[in-house]
C-alpha cells in the first residue's frame, strides 16, 4: 500500500483540491467586499467637505464668510453629491467650482441653501450656520443701526465693510433689529436661525427668488415626503378601524 505524508491521511490530489477550493472561496469573498467598498465610496463621495481646504487657503484672513451657494446630486444607482460655495471677504468675494462632498454632509446641509456655513470674525471662528452677514451685526466696528422711514431699525455696514452686503450677492437682505434679536436668542441656544418668517434657508422666500429651480425641486420633494407620511398614517388608521370592527363582530347601530 502506498504511504502518504504524516501531515494528512488524504491523497495528495484530494488535499490540493480542498486547498484550491478554500483559496478560491477566500478570493471571491475578498473581491465582493472590495467591490462593495468601492460602490460605497462612490455613492457617498467619501472625503472632505472642502471647508477645511478653503480655511487653509484663508489662513491669513481674519474676517470672512463661506456661504452655501448651490448644491446638487447626480447619478441613479450610485449617487454623487456636490456643493458650490461663495467666499466673502470684506472687500471681495468669489464662487468655487462644484466640489464633491460626503452624502452625510450633503444631507446635513440640505436645509441651508444660501446660509453662511462658516464665519470668521476678527480671527474667531463661528461654525454655526446663520443668515449671511448676521455674524457681523451689532458690532460698531462693522456698522450701525439706522431707523427707516417706517420707524423700523435696520443694520448698515460702513467704512471698509460698506460693500459687505453687496458681496453676499442675492443672499443678503436688509437685517432688521427684530430679526437680529431673534438670531441672538437662537445663537445663545446654539440653534440655527432661519428668520422670524423663515425667509432664509432652502425652503425660504430668498431661495425662491434667487434659485427658483432648486426651490421648486425642494418643495416638490418636501410635499412628496409629507404625502407619503400621510398615506402611511391613513393606511395604519384604516387597518386599526378594520381590526376594531372585526373584533366587535362587525356590528353597528
* Domain locations in the chain as residue ranges: 1-44, 51-222
Phi/psi of residue 21, each to 5°? -60, -45
Q: Would the pLDDT of 129 be above 70?
A: yes
Q: Which residue has the higher pLDDT, 155 or 222?
A: 155
Separation between Cα atoms, residue 81 and residue 95, nearest integer Å: 18
Q: Which of 24-38, 56-70, 119-133, 156-170 has the lowest mean pLDDT?
A: 24-38
Separation between Cα atoms, residue 28 and residue 39, nearest integer Å: 17
**Mean pLDDT, the chain, integer:** 80
pLDDT computed for residue 121 by the predictor: 96
pLDDT (mean) for 128-138: 96
pLDDT computed for residue 92 by the predictor: 95
Separation between Cα atoms, residue 134 and residue 181, nearest integer Å: 11
pLDDT computed for residue 4 by the predictor: 47
pLDDT (mean) for 135-159: 95
pLDDT (mean) for 138-144: 95
pLDDT computed for residue 213 by the predictor: 85
How sure is the predictor about 152, in pLDDT bands with cuts at 50, 70 and 90?
Answer: very high
* Eight-class DSSP state of 130: B
Measured on CA atoms in the order 39, 42, 46, 47, is the torsion positive or negative? positive
Q: Would the pLDDT of 12 be above 90?
A: no
Q: Would the pLDDT of 188 be above 80?
A: yes
pLDDT (mean) for 181-195: 95
pLDDT (mean) for 198-222: 86
pLDDT (mean) for 163-186: 93
Q: Would the pLDDT of 154 be above 60?
A: yes
Q: Would the pLDDT of 48 be above 90?
A: no
Give 96's contacts (C-beta < 8 A, 6+ positions apart): 50, 54, 69, 84, 85, 86, 87
pTM: 0.69
Amino acid at each position: 500500500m502506498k504511504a502518504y505524508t504524516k501531515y494528512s491521511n488524504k491523497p495528495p490530489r484530494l488535499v490540493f483540491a480542498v486547498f484550491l477550493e478554500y483559496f478560491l472561496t477566500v478570493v471571491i469573498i475578498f473581491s465582493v467586499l472590495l467591490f462593495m467598498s468601492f460602490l460605497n465610496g462612490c455613492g457617498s463621495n467619501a472625503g472632505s467637505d472642502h471647508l477645511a481646504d478653503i480655511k487653509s487657503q484663508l489662513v491669513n484672513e481674519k474676517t470672512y464668510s463661506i456661504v452655501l451657494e448651490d448644491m446638487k446630486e447626480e447619478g441613479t444607482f450610485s449617487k454623487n453629491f456636490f456643493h458650490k460655495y461663495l467666499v466673502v471677504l470684506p472687500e471681495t468675494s468669489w464662487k468655487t467650482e462644484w466640489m464633491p462632498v460626503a452624502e452625510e454632509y450633503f444631507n446635513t446641509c440640505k436645509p441651508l441653501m444660501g446660509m453662511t456655513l462658516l464665519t470668521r470674525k476678527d480671527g474667531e471662528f463661528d461654525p454655526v450656520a446663520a443668515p449671511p452677514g448676521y455674524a457681523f451685526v451689532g458690532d460698531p466696528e462693522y456698522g450701525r443701526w439706522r431707523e427707516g422711514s417706517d420707524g423700523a431699525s435696520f443694520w448698515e455696514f460702513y467704512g471698509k465693510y460698506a460693500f459687505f452686503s453687496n458681496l453676499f450677492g442675492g443672499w443678503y437682505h436688509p437685517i432688521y433689529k427684530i430679526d437680529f434679536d431673534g438670531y441672538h436668542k437662537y445663537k445663545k441656544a446654539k440653534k440655527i436661525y432661519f428668520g422670524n418668517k423663515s425667509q432664509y434657508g432652502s425652503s425660504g422666500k430668498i431661495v425662491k427668488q434667487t434659485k427658483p429651480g432648486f426651490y421648486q425641486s425642494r418643495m416638490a420633494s418636501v410635499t412628496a415626503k409629507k404625502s407619503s407620511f400621510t398615506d402611511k398614517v391613513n393606511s395604519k388608521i384604516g387597518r386599526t378601524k378594520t381590526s376594531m370592527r372585526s373584533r366587535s363582530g362587525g356590528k353597528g347601530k
